[in-house]
Amino acid sequence: QQQVKQSPQSLIVQKGGIPIINCAYENTAFDYFPWYQQFPGKGPALLIAIRPDVSEKKEGRFTISFNKSAKQFSLHIMDSQPGDSATYFCAVASAGTALIFGKGTTLSVSS
């Protein structure tokens, strides 16, 4: 059973658009919700992360929105650029456990 469901699988937006990637989870014990970005040939890199005590966190053009009651969180990329074209993974974890990753979203930003 998939512990975190990520959607969409792929996404194409125009430069300047705001792609939104969603993740849903079941286990209410999860208390760490990071997003990773992966470029071809590279390992994933932490982009931004949130804890359940806040509903939103912004870092530069990247924003996480967190809905504890719905058990969902999403990544928004403001003013997207061609350089943002990559695969994005959400993940979940609880204290002392390993990260469980979503299946990834391939984002293409066209110029």
Partner 1 sequence: KAGVTQTPRYLIKTRGQQVTLSCSPISGHRSVSWYQQTPGQGLQFLFEYFSETQRNKGNFPGRFSGRQFSNSRSEMNVSTLELGDSALYLCASSFLAPDTDTQYFGPGTRLTVL
**Which spans of this chain sit near partner 1 (rule: CB under 8 A)?**
31-32, 34, 36, 41-46, 89, 93-104
The string of DSSP letters for 1-56 reads: --SEEEE-SEEEEETT---EEEEEE--TT--BEEEEEE-TTS--EEEEEE-TT-SE
Nearer to partner 1, 12 or 45 (CB): 45
To the nearest whole angstrom, how small is the minimum distance from the Cβ of residue 105 to partner 1?
11
Rounded-to-integer distance, Cα 47 and Cα 56, Å: 14
To the nearest whole angstrom, how small is the minimum distance from the Cβ of residue 45 to partner 1?
7
Nearer to partner 1, 71 or 103 (CB): 103
To the nearest whole angstrom, how small is the minimum distance from the Cβ of residue 24 to partner 1?
15
